[in-house]
Amino acid sequence: MNMQTTPRLTAAEAALIEAFNNQIGELPGDGAVIAIRDRLLDDLKKSGLPTRRVEAWHYTDLKTLLRAVPAQAGDAGSDARHPLVEGSTVLPVIQGRPDHKARAGDLVVSSYAEQLSNGSAAAGLGALDKDDAVGRINGSFVRDGYVIDVPAETDLEEPLEIQFVHAGGQTHTRLPVSFGAGVKATVIERHLSVTADAALVSHVSDITLGEGAELTWIIVQQQGADDTHLGQIRVDLGADAKLKLFVINAGGKLVRQELHIKVTGEGADLTLRGINLLGAETHTDVTMVLGHNVPNTGSTEIIRNVVFDRAKGVFQGMIRVAPDAQKTDAKMACNTLLMSDDAEFSVKPELEIFADDVQCGHGATVADIDRNHLYYLMARGIPENKARAMLVNAFVAEIVEELENEAIVEALEGVISTWLEKHA
């Protein structure tokens, strides 16, 4: 006689299920969307949050690390913040609620809640696979977000900042963005906390680049000291499209940032740069899955990590080269500075190559501050703490300077310097 037993739920899992049951009557969606939400939550009930036994979550045992789930978010009592880069157009999302009257030049901006209500969001609402806990949680609870369509041949002269302002509680948002052929644009996806109240934030950006589009997309994550941030970006690169993707994690207690990128058009190219600044007893996980699916494409990924105190970090990078993806050129590197004996950083680079005419490689380094460089600065009268901060800053600033835009470089260097002043 076979008997199936329901796994014992943790306090966080039980709180998520209770929150869903309390909100289901309020969540936007037609019959198809509600059915998907029900299925996603049912999967959570059956399997629970992922543990280290799940390969994709081996270094981030979410069942153990997510210990509490705050209540549904109330009103933020806050307005949009000043843009990170002066002159940027800002589309604010305050406590999970976008400004439906917001406009951004000639861009077509609409409500994700409307797509949920009429069912047009159903196709992209589900999880990517059985291990997609971020997509499962977000798909269950998401209420709103912006839907942005950038018409072909549009040239955005100033950055567009989508600003997610959090003030404790739960917020779940989505951001589908379509860039037409020949578009040139810079977008800043910014997540920031404005209170000390704990938050659970899930967010999914779904980006499509048309033929020949050139996009710089910058994710700046500055959550509060007790916040959980579950982020995911899904990208489809068309023919001859160029994407520069920059990710800076400078906040949060528990962070999982996933990058799911499909290269589906010949001539497409990806540049990924990441900076993880970790302190106290935080845990930050950046996981990338990159698929080169057609011939003649390229990618380079460089991740820089700085880890203080008892913080723990993870970078998992998977590059898959399909059988038809001849002439792929893909390179990945991860470099880490451990600033404490108790700091930890795990690196798991992977290559799955099914084509024979490719150039692919990966590497990783872990080190402390170079004592000779430190002595050089201290010998010139610079205090040790400041000298260390200068060397750390130089280690990560090299990545930021690749952006070339002076205003953006200055703004991101300010984010890094502010973090280092608090932690170094």
Task: Name residues whose C-beta falls within 8 Å of residue 41's C-beta, 6 or more positions apart in sequence.
Answer: 17, 20, 140
370 — pLDDT class (breaks 50, 70, 90): confident
pLDDT, one tens digit per residue, over 48-67 is 999 999 999 999 999 999 99
Which pLDDT score, from 0 to 100, does residue 76 have?
54
Contact predicate 277/343, CB 8 Å: no
* One domain for residues 211 and 94: yes
- Domain count of the chain? 2
Q: What is the pLDDT of residue 422?
A: 86
Q: What is the pLDDT of residue 303?
A: 97
**Does 50 fall in a domain?**
yes
Q: What pLDDT sits at residue 1?
A: 43
Percentage of the chain exceeding pLDDT 90:
81
Please say if the pLDDT value at position 193 is more than 70: yes
Q: Supply the pLDDT for residue 67.
A: 93
For the cut 70, the answer to whether the pLDDT of residue 368 exceeds it is yes
Same domain flag for 384 and 255? no
Residues 259 and 394 in one domain: no
What is the pLDDT, as a whole number, of residue 382? 86
Q: What is the mean pLDDT of the chain?
A: 93
Residue 15: give the domain boundaries.
11-265
As a whole number, mean pLDDT of residues 241-263 equals 98
Which of the listed residues 248, 265, 282 is the one where a domain comes to its end? Answer: 265
Of 207, 231, 265, the residue at which a domain comes to its end is 265
pLDDT at 6 over 70: no
In a domain, 390, yes or no: yes
Q: Residue 7 pLDDT more than 70?
A: no
For residue 300, being part of any structural domain is answered with: no
Residues 259 and 384 occupy one common structural domain: no
304 contacts: CB under 8 Å, gap ≥ 6: 274, 275, 276, 335, 336, 395, 396, 398, 399
The verdict on 21 and 168 lying in the same domain is yes
What average pLDDT does the segment 113-132 reach? Answer: 95
- Mean pLDDT of the region 178-193: 97
pLDDT of residue 367 exceeding 60: yes
Considering the domain architecture, whether residues 47 and 162 belong to the same structural domain is answered as yes
Tell me, yes or no, whether 347 lies in a domain.
no
Residue 79 has pLDDT above 80, yes or no: no
In a domain, 395, yes or no: yes
Q: Of 247, 265, 283, which marks where a domain is finished? A: 265
Calculate mean pLDDT across residues 174-184: 98
Would residue 381 count as lying in a domain?
Answer: yes
Does a structural domain hold residue 31?
Answer: yes
Residue 317 lies in a domain: no
Is the pTM of the predicted complex or chain greater than 0.75?
yes
pLDDT in tens, 99-115: 988 888 889 999 999 99
